Structure 1
Amino acid sequence: MRYFITGTAGFIGFHLARRLLEDGHEVFGIDGMTQYYNLKLKEARNAALAQFPSFTGRIGMLEDNGFLREAVMAAKPDVMIHLAAQAGVRYSLENPKAYLDSNLVGTWNILELAKELQIGHLMLASTSSVYGANPEVPFRESDKTDEPLTFYAATKKATELMAHSYAHLYKFPITAFRFFTVYGPWGRPDMALFKFAKAMLDGQPIEIYGEGKMSRDFTYIEDLVEAIVRLSAVAPAEANRVTKPGVSDTLSHQAPFRVVNLGGGQPVGLMEFVETIEKAMGQPAIRKMLPMQKGDVPRTFAAPDLLQALTGYTPSTTVEEGVKAFVEWYLDQGRALE
């Protein structure tokens, strides 16, 4: 099959593109190569993908509709997977316009092209941040998501709503998936695991927000990719509406549109996460305890039932396994790409 993926020089896009290429598919990828973090890491990911003859990569911004249109039309994809976005909850407090441009304008450009092509399946990345500080756990796709705590979360909720309207009006299938604290090798330097490992090696304190009382439903990158690959074969339609007792399908009654959590439903406390990193690094961390940051949520906790019902799969890599894999990559390659 032919896949068009946005953000292939990014953490998740790189892993997904590499998996699809290894499976024998054709991948056409684009990336803006923005300066949000060191380009050396993005360039290394791009170079790894370029080793595959069936990969075509181009550099350009989602907001540049002319560039995007030319790229999509050249790719003629069967499936489009839109991962590119301005990421980071905290950075949205500093530069909200970057989120407006990339996450809203860029996504609208993608929707317009998918409409024109009547794409077989459009997949859009959303986030667990849309649940805000929801006190009910685990977070279910049917839960209320109308109280975002950051502009980042607000833009992601907006992309879901925009996508539903396009699926309804133009009748092409769209799946929006909500990520839960993805981590692993080739991760972003602004992520906690990367920052903690670097600080520990540099002999610097690690900053632990919320006095360490937060918890996260950590999702290992390879598990996430497996879930996306499986979901790509399940374009939303009445034929695959889930009717299993105890599982609420989010398949719209007005459109071929569905929202799915991508998480394992096994949250881990922040202090346990720190201790796992210390064990994998073979050294203690200097801990600097800090209050909760503006926009942070106390916990994330996915209900994975719908993903399991649709694909027969639930992310299951333990934090111990995932952190160990990251530390091995970081010491071998990541340190040189900071």
Structure 2
Amino acid sequence: MKVLVTGAAGFIGMATAQRLLERGDEVVGVDNLNDYYDVNLKLARLRLLEPHARFRFVKLDIADRAGMEALFAAEGFDRVVHLAAQAGVRYSLVNPHAYVESNLVGFMNVLEGCRHHQVQHLVYASSSSVYGGNVKMPFSESDGVDHPVSLYAATKKSNELMAHTYSHLYGLPTTGLRFFTVYGPWGRPDMAMFLFTKAILENRPIDVFNHGQMRRDFTYVDDIVEGVIRVLDRVATPDEAFDPAQPHPGRSHAPYRVFNIGNHEPVPLLEFIGCIEEALGRQAEKRLLPMQDGDVPATYADADALREWVGFAPRTSIREGVGRFVAWYREFYGA
């Protein structure tokens, strides 16, 4: 297939493009290479993809309407994996406009490109953050997600609503994946694993929010990519059992699906830090702080629906995954 991967210089985007190329697909990668975090890391990821003869990179902002229209018209994509977005919960508190431009305007441009150019299937990144203030665990796609606690979460919920509209009006098959705390080699520098590892190696204290009383459903990047590829290969279909009198939020009479994609095994934050300490062979100095605005105390994925749909089952333990990240970090940064 010919597949568009947006956010190809990003963490999950690069890993997804790699897997598609390895199995023989043609991949066009799009990224605007913004400076939200170290551009050199993004360029290093792209260097892993560029040797593939079936890979081509286009530097383009998905919020550029004319540029996206021209890209879709010229390429004739079979399927699209949309992973580009302005990421980060905390950054949305200081730069909200970036989220509107990338996550709303950019997503609209992707939807329009798919609609007008007969794309067979759009798979896009949603987020566990859509569960917001929910306290019932584990989070299920059958739960309501109408109480976001960050603008980032609100834009991801909006993406699901926009996708459903296009599935309903134009018959565009769309599948949204609610990612649960993805980690691993080549990960983002603004995420906890990267920040903790860097600080510990530099003998600086680490900030531990909510006084360490946090749990996260950490999901290793290779497991995530396996799920993304399996979902891409199974085109979304209408749910024949859909009951509009009791509508399921993750399914529809239209070719629309939404799934959690997580490890189904939440890990206490202090245990997670312990795995990093073990891999590094040194202890962290912990600075215990209150909960930050926009954050939630726990995430926990009910991943049964995705397992039933495509046989998705994560295989990487937190200790194994953290060890791989630390090994990569030491090699990449010479630490």
What TM-score bracket applies, with the shorter chain setting the length? Answer: over 0.9
- Contact 2:7 2:85 (C-alpha < 8 Å) held by counterparts: yes
Counterpart check, 1:326 vs 2:307: no
Q: Which residue does the alignment assign to 2:262?
A: 263
- Contact 1:86 1:103 (C-alpha < 8 Å) held by counterparts: yes
Instruction: Provide the C-alpha distance between the structure 2 equivalents of 1:98 and 1:259, rounded to a whole number of angstroms.
Output: 25
Alignment of 1:97-246 (within 5 A): 97-238=97-238
- Contact 1:167 1:174 (C-alpha < 8 Å) held by counterparts: yes
Identity %: 49
Letter of the structure 2 residue corresponding to residue 116 of structure 1: H
- Quote the offset at 1:259 in angstroms: 0.3
- Quote the offset at 1:22 in angstroms: 1.0
Task: Go from structure 1 to structure 2 and tell me whether the alpha carbon gap of 1:54 and 1:325 turns closer, same or farther (over 3 Å shift).
Answer: same
- Quote the offset at 1:118 in angstroms: 2.3
Task: Go from structure 1 to structure 2 and tell me whether the alpha carbon gap of 1:273 and 1:101 turns closer, same or farther (over 3 Å shift).
Answer: same
Task: Go from structure 1 to structure 2 and tell me whether the alpha carbon gap of 1:231 and 1:304 turns closer, same or farther (over 3 Å shift).
Answer: same
Using structure 2 for the length normalisation, give the TM-score: 0.96
Give a deviation string over 1:310-330, Cα, whole Å, max 9, x none. Answer: 111211311001000000000
Alignment of 1:63-78 (within 5 A): 63-78=63-78
- Quote the offset at 1:264 in angstroms: 1.8
Task: Go from structure 1 to structure 2 and tell me whether the alpha carbon gap of 1:30 and 1:240 turns closer, same or farther (over 3 Å shift).
Answer: farther
Q: Which residue does the alignment assign to 2:11?
A: 11
Alignment of 1:285-300 (within 5 A): 285-300=284-299
Q: Which residue does the alignment assign to 2:93?
A: 93
Counterpart secondary structure, 1:333:
helix
- Quote the offset at 1:119 in angstroms: 1.1
Instruction: Provide the C-alpha distance between the structure 2 equivalents of 1:272 and 1:149, rounded to a whole number of angstroms.
Output: 26
Unaligned runs of 5+ in 1: 243-247
Number of aligned positions between the proteins = 330
Counterpart check, 1:84 vs 2:84: yes
Instruction: Provide the C-alpha distance between the structure 1 equivalents of 2:79 and 2:314, rounded to a whole number of angstroms.
Output: 23
Instruction: Provide the C-alpha distance between the structure 2 equivalents of 1:302 and 1:46, rounded to a whole number of angstroms.
Output: 31
RMSD: 1.5
Instruction: Provide the C-alpha distance between the structure 2 equivalents of 1:116 and 1:187, rounded to a whole number of angstroms.
Output: 34
Counterpart check, 1:273 vs 2:264: no
Unaligned runs of 5+ in 2: 243-247
Give a deviation string over 1:262-309, Cα, whole Å, max 9, x none. Answer: 112100000000001000111101111111001110100000101100
- Contact 1:4 1:72 (C-alpha < 8 Å) held by counterparts: no
Using structure 1 for the length normalisation, give the TM-score: 0.95
- Quote the offset at 1:133 in angstroms: 2.3
- Contact 1:30 1:58 (C-alpha < 8 Å) held by counterparts: yes
Q: Which residue does the alignment assign to 1:245?
A: none
Instruction: Provide the C-alpha distance between the structure 1 equivalents of 2:218 and 2:94, rounded to a whole number of angstroms.
Output: 25
Instruction: Provide the C-alpha distance between the structure 2 equivalents of 1:235 and 1:188, rounded to a whole number of angstroms.
Output: 29
- Contact 2:143 2:249 (C-alpha < 8 Å) held by counterparts: no
- Quote the offset at 1:123 in angstroms: 0.9
- Quote the offset at 1:63 in angstroms: 1.0
- Quote the offset at 1:69 in angstroms: 1.9
